[in-house]
Structure formats: C-alpha cells, structure tokens
Homo-oligomer: A and B are copies of this chain.
C-alpha cells in the first residue's frame, strides 16, 4: 500500500484526501520540488528545500518548516520501503474561501510522495523547439510553481512529433529551457547554459553541473543562448534531478554526437551521487 505524507501524517495514498477548496487545485497557488534518493541518500536535499523556501517568499506563503519537510521526506521513503526513488514535495497555500486574493490565516497543505524509479532512464534524448514561449518577464518563470501547464503542452507537442523533450524559447526568441530540464550547449569548447533571467527555473542538477565544471577545470559559463547557438553547438545535454546529465543527440532534424565533455560531466555527476 503506497503511503504519502499529508499535513504531518503518513496516510494510505488511496485514502488521502485533498480538500476540494485547496487553492493548489483551484488556482495553482503553490509550489513543488522533485528530488532523487540514491540508496536512501537524499541528493541535494538542502538545495531543494532552499529553493522551496525562496519560491514561498515569491508567492507570499509562510516560510515552510524545512526540518519537518526533511523528516517527512525520510519518513515517506521509509514507509514505502524505498531506497532509490524520486520524491515530490508539494506545498500549497491551503484551502480557502472563494476568490483570487490570498486569504489570511489559512494553513498550507504539505504533501510528500515517493515513487520507485522507472525501470530504465534514457541514456540519450531528442528534442525539438516548442511553439509555446516562456515569459521571462514573469517571476513565475524562475520558480517551481504548480502552474506547469505550459510545460505539459510543450512536451505533448514534442512527443506527438516523436521527440523526447521540448525546448522552450522565451518571448525574446532566445533559449530558456526544456519542459522538464535545463539545457546546456558546448560552444567553442565552453559549457554554456542560460541564466534564470532568460525565463527558466534554475535547476538543482544544473547548479550541480556548474559546480562540478568549476571544480574540475572544465570551462563553463552562464550566458544567454539562441537557436543559432543550438545549431552550432558541438555537444548538447539536458539536466534534471531525475535524469541527471543526458546527452541530447538529436535537435530537431540535426544529429549531435554525444561528445567527451558531456560524457565527463555525466560521470562526474554520477560519482557525486555515490556514497562519500
């Protein structure tokens, strides 16, 4: 029986009840985080919790109880007998009366669920450009809010065309990110990824890759990139907490070799997830 952690208690998922008046459901008024457990170790938990707290500040939610959330994550893993898992933390403003304006005095909803990993994760991916643009002028483009419908539509469009991922441009026509990943290009030998100001979520895996590059003297930079840069890149890869570092070997109709820089960062990332 799958257990989830809901508002301080472990409950059977099939009995857990979300209030129909929850503003997370009605208005996407909330946040989430997805992280991965490796043999029971929660990879970059603190970074995920810090991002959740930063998102809560943007939405004007009460500061989330981070130690309690960390304990809930561990309890959920244990209750489901999972050591390797993907974990989702969902935080909403809670159930409120009718109306758009956030009510005062409501209790946020906190939910933690853990899932077994898929039997296999991709070792290479293809991507196309999405028709939907990300709004780099919105603060929501830089936090992991529940308003994920644009990403769903973009990914659905890519899947229908036979691609694994959709790359979204921003309204200025520059590259933002994948529907559920950050994009890195190797340009003139330098690992390059755009800054959050381009309208993208600063992924925790993205941050790890940048840190690993710095630590291992792999030239890297954060800089706006364009679709033309994508075409001329010698290598490309995607990152997220579940997929880690995955070579992007087909960009629209263009084949890109899975090159040495990607391979090296993929190994370094893997190594960083292993027990110390």
Which residues in A have some Cβ–Cβ distance to B below 8 Å?
4, 6, 13, 16-22, 24-29, 32, 58-60, 86, 88, 90, 92, 98, 100-102, 111, 113, 115, 132-135, 137-140, 145-153, 155-156, 159, 171, 179-180
Contact = CB atoms under 8 A, between A and B. Distances in A.
Contact of A138 (B19, B115, B150): B150
Contacts of A159: 101
A101 B132 contact: no
B148 A138 contact: no
A6 B28 CA distance: 19
A268 B90 CA distance: 46
Contacts of A151: 27, 100
A142 to B, nearest CB: 12
A40 to B, nearest CB: 19
A58 B154 CA distance: 12
Given A28-B28, A135-B133, A100 B148 contact: yes
Nearest to A28: B28
Contacts of A140: 132, 149-150, 153
B149 A146 contact: yes
A26 to B, nearest CB: 7
